[in-house]
Amino acid sequence: MSSGIKPTGVLHYGNYFGAIRQYINLQDTAEAFYFIVDYHALTTLPTPDTLRVDTFRMALDWMALGLDPDKASLFVQSDVPEVTELAWIFSNLLPAGDLERGVSFKDAKQRGDTPNAGLLNYPVLQAADILIYGGSVVPVGKDQTQNIEIAKRIANRFNRRFTSDRPYFHPPRPWVIEEVAVVPGLDGQKMSKSYNNTIAIFEEPEVLRKKVMAIPTASTPLSEPMDPDSDHVFSLIRLVGDEETVSSIRDSYLRGGFGFRRAKEELINLLESYFADARERRDELVAKPDVVRDAMVAGAERARVRAQETMRDVRELTGLNWKNAAR
């Protein structure tokens, strides 16, 4: 199993509930390779300092949230350069038109941007990320399932072209938890940095309060019942509250006399408590950065062993081993 996340900005609740929580749950049940995709981040051309800082911060945050480097291989994508070699081989198996129909590429063009070749080939590199470690299950957000389908197509085409007698790559399948597949943002849309509607996992308390208090709500009088199912505040309460708490707050909505300000106060309390332990662990890791660095180096070493095994096989299967020609 393998999956990654781009080191762009800070982690928000959408990142956690859409993917990272799944990573944490799965690290106890399967061999897992989790990585920070700094090659992918280059599609937006960040400054070198920004990329370095964001990559390290992402690793630190993952470990604070519960990823255990003794259970899963946690590393940085560029520390396993074999993945770019495999991506080049894969790029020859896919028509350019398939990539031009990719969601990220089409969205960029619709916004009037001029997408670079890196964005066009993004799904191919993602396929290499998955398949080089033998991944067959990929925990992803609902909006990433198209790229997994491309990875599946690449795996099948490689197998038909080079290993028709015995499939080499296992076509991957996405694993999406439907109830949190799309995490609502402050405005009710999908939580995304692009929409400027995120709540950072390690948000400063005063910033968190300001964001929550600014969430738009209906103009329901205080004495009247409120509709929890159409309210953005309640959508977030349902995300972070336990079953008993959510049920109690829902009843308060339906009784009336509760009010949206009270609902927002409840949400703030829930958000602050949900990641309290993670904040404490994060503070400890900030004070000991070498713990993070050592974990990432060890994770990359384990991942690279697997990647090099895959590439030895791939070079043999594709004919990229000219030294064996006379044997």
Burial class (CB in 10 A: 0-12, 13-18, 19+), 110: exposed
Q: Give the integer Cα–Cα distance in Å for 252 and 274.
A: 21
Walk along the chain (327 residues) and give the pLDDT tens digit of each residue.
888 888 977 899 988 988 788 888 889 888 889 999 999 999 989 999 999 999 999 999 999 999 999 999 999 999 999 999 999 999 999 998 888 887 788 888 888 888 889 998 999 999 999 999 997 888 776 667 788 899 999 999 999 999 978 899 999 988 876 666 678 899 989 898 878 999 999 999 999 999 999 999 999 999 999 999 999 999 999 999 999 999 999 999 999 999 999 999 999 999 999 999 999 999 999 999 999 999 999 999 999 999 999 999 999 999 999 888 866
Q: Give the integer Cα–Cα distance in Å for 116 and 290.
A: 36
Indicate the Cα dihedral angle 259, 265, 271, 273, nearest 10°: -130
pTM: 0.86
Question: What domains can be seen in the chain, in order of their start residue?
Answer: 2-183+289-324 (3.40.50.620), 203-274 (1.10.240.10)
